[in-house]
Amino acid sequence: MTILFRLFAWPQRLLLIGPGVGTDNHRHHAAQLCLGLEAPLRMRAAEDQAWQQAPGFFVTADQPHQLDAGTRPTAFLYLEADSGECRRLAQHHAGGISPLGRPGYLPLLQALAADGRPDQAEAALAAMLGDDAPGTPAPLDPRIARSLAWIGEHLGMPVRIADVAQAVHLSESHFAHLFSEQVGVPLRRYVLWRRLREALGCAMRGGSLTAAAHGAGFADSAHLSRAFRDHFGVAPSFLFEQRARIAYTAFN
């Protein structure tokens, strides 16, 4: 079956490339950078407002918006609003909905849409975030590295900061500060993204919505659906319906 979508997942980031859509007015907790790969997009903050047209838009977290991308190829980058990289990106744009000019990295996204290679995805992400090159991230404090492994082993149950801190022999306050400093987001937000990414992986491997929810530590499929819609503005049923047409790549 023909691949229609390319989905790339990093901690605290999600990049979707595929045919554009027309949405109802909605909002989501993740900030969003969207770009038309072949033609401009249209966006507005409410149905009674005039459309804005631009090559792309940056949308801050929880900002109501309606998108018209037709069916033309579009890239959607979702970012954790509490992350340092999102805050840095937001400094270059006004609040709410910010039109974007045609970026110099557009050819990177067009090549990624065509080929879907992981190295292309890393380069495109770095360009979208304003980094000169993907580079090699600084090594994590060993205690934080152990905490990430511990979280991965315990996603199927409640993950409490006291338990994680105890597992790596740190006080709660010291651990909370060090975790946010090293990972870039608070523990609670990291765990939510980790659960959502685990559910995505389960969906792409052919699991049911219920299996994805339980495997990722959500109470049930309704809990997963609410969290997914709140974060990304769409129901996860889209992924289950289209997964045969989605090429999925996950990064650590």
Q: What CATH number is associated with residue 46?
A: 2.60.120.10
Last residue of a domain, one of 80, 104, 128: 128
| Beta sheet of 41-44, edge-to-edge order | 52-54, 41-44, 66-68
Say yes or no: 111 and 148 in one domain. Answer: no
Say yes or no: 48 and 80 in one domain. Answer: yes
Domain that holds residue 191: 142-239
Say yes or no: 124 and 146 in one domain. Answer: no
Is 229 a member of any domain?
yes
Is 136 a member of any domain?
no
The CATH number that applies at residue 181 is 1.10.10.60
Which pLDDT value is given to residue 136? 53
What is the token pair recorded at 6?
């390319």
Last residue of a domain, one of 89, 106, 128: 128
What is the token pair recorded at 4?
């229609």
Per-residue pLDDT for the chain (252 aa), expressed as one digit of tens each? Answer: 688 899 999 988 999 999 987 788 888 888 999 999 999 999 999 989 999 999 999 999 889 999 998 889 999 999 988 888 888 888 888 789 999 999 999 999 999 999 999 999 999 999 999 865 445 556 889 999 999 999 999 988 899 999 999 999 999 999 999 999 888 888 998 899 889 988 988 888 889 999 999 989 999 999 999 998 888 877 888 888 888 899 999 997
Which pLDDT value is given to residue 137? 58
- Are 25 and 59 in contact by the 8 Å Cβ rule? The answer is no
Is 119 a member of any domain?
yes
Is 198 a member of any domain?
yes
Which pLDDT value is given to residue 18? 93
Say yes or no: 116 and 222 in one domain. Answer: no
Is 135 a member of any domain?
no
Q: How many other C-beta atoms can be found within 10 angstroms of the C-beta atom of residue 169?
A: 9
Total-model pTM:
0.84
Residue 18 parent element (H or E): strand 13-19
Last residue of a domain, one of 128, 157, 192: 128
Which residues sit opposite 9 in a β-bridge?
Answer: 14, 250
Number of domains the chain is built from: 2
Locate all alpha helices (DSSP H) within the chain, ordered by sequence. Answer: 84-90, 106-115, 118-128, 142-153, 161-167, 172-183, 187-204, 209-215, 221-232, 237-242
Say yes or no: 69 and 148 in one domain. Answer: no
3-state secondary structure of 36: strand
Say yes or no: 124 and 154 in one domain. Answer: no
Q: How many other C-beta atoms can be found within 10 angstroms of the C-beta atom of residue 152?
A: 11
CA distance 144 to 137: 14
Say yes or no: 146 and 118 in one domain. Answer: no
